[in-house]
Amino acid sequence: MKTFALSRGDQSRGTPDVAGFFDPRTFSVQYVVSDAATNRCAIIDPVLDFDEKSGATATHQADALLAYIEQEGLELEWILDTHPHADHFSAARYLHEKTGAPTAIGRPVMDVQTLWKKIYNWPDLNDDGSQWEHLFDDGDTFTLGELKCRVMHSPGHTLASITYVIGDAAFVHDTLFQPDFGTARADFPGGSARELWQSIQAILTLPDETRLFTGHDYMPEGRAPEWESTVREQRETNKHRLDDSSEAEYVELRERRDRELPMPKLMLFALQVNILGGRLPEPESNGTRYLKVPLDALDGPDWT
């Protein structure tokens, strides 16, 4: 199975190299984005390994990112998450502790913290986003080496979803998937199919040849993993008809599809780690860490 691919940029045009790392356990794609002119790089959406059957954690995925950075002679400048993930643990805190690079996410993460603070009955949780070194607002700009970077607030999948536009590459997290799979679900707490449509339309105003990199791939029809497309490809070939649907048609399709989907198996585990920026719970008196799973807090499966 393909678990790595490098999409080369053009240094003369100020576009980045993008290395994608696919995690088959969670179907997640992690990225190392680099500026060839300065060898500065960022990590986007890193995965901390977690086995829900045994409760075991590991750092194999994150260590592979660090090994690639060392191998290529890169210098890590940012550790970026696009949103608090529901299907894997974030390795942002682990990578920060290993490298000292600052972590960042969108400022609306505070709204997600407030929402899940109630679900977990977690009155001591600081819901001010202070678990990250930097919070981005919509329209914020920053640099990666000599590359110009911009932040787009892209709610719908979650309240806090953002898109990072770095040169000619846009990291669209779980808003869009590959064209043959469609778009992201919008039925998580705080999600909205209408806002998701509006976020997708904003992404599709980027130049046609903008490279779009997704946060997951579920390999429809058994094909190999893929995670790169373009704005033009998404507009013209996405199975959810992004170019010729109306907002109302899309919302009806998305909500109908979401009613058929089970909740992600790691959701209640992952959110209590990810709203802390990837921090695991503190060890208790016996030295063991524990996760708290609320019962009957979300809609359950169709039992029939």
CA–CA distance, 29 with 158 (Å, rounded to integer): 18
* Spatial contact of 33 and 18, defined as CB atoms under 8 Å apart: yes
Q: Classify strands 75-80 and 141-144 as parallel, antiparallel or unpaired.
A: unpaired
pLDDT tens over the chain, length 304 residues: 999 999 999 988 999 999 999 999 999 999 999 999 999 999 999 999 999 999 999 999 999 999 999 999 999 999 999 999 999 999 999 999 999 999 999 999 999 999 999 999 999 999 999 999 999 999 999 999 999 999 999 999 999 999 999 999 999 999 999 999 999 999 999 999 999 999 999 999 999 999 999 999 999 999 999 999 999 999 999 999 999 999 999 999 999 999 999 999 999 999 999 999 999 999 999 999 999 999 998 888 777 7
- The whole-angstrom separation of Cα 196 and Cα 183 is 9
User: Domain locations in the chain?
Assistant: 4-274
Rounded Cα distance between 155 and 57, Å, is 30
3-state secondary structure of 92: helix
Closest to 43 in 3D by CA, of 32, 27, 29: 32
pLDDT value, residue 187: 96
CA 182, CA 186: separation in Å to the nearest integer? 13
- For the structural domain made of 4-274, what CATH number should be given? 3.60.15.10
pLDDT of residue 301: 78
Contact status, residue 186 vs residue 196, Cβ threshold 8 Å: yes
pLDDT recorded at residue 302 = 77
What pairs with residue 144 in β-bridges?
147
Dihedral, CA of residue 119, residue 121, residue 127 and residue 129, to nearest 10: -60
Six token digits for residue 247:
């907002």
What's the pTM value of the predicted model, to 2 decimals?
A: 0.97
pLDDT for residue 43: 99
Q: In the chain, where do the E strands start and end?
A: 4-7, 17-23, 28-35, 40-44, 47-51, 56-58, 75-80, 89-90, 103-106, 134-136, 141-144, 147-153, 162-166, 169-171, 211-213, 228-230
Strand order in the sheet with 89-90: 56-58, 47-51, 89-90
The DSSP line for 219-243 is: -GGGPPP--EEEHHHHHHH-TT-TT
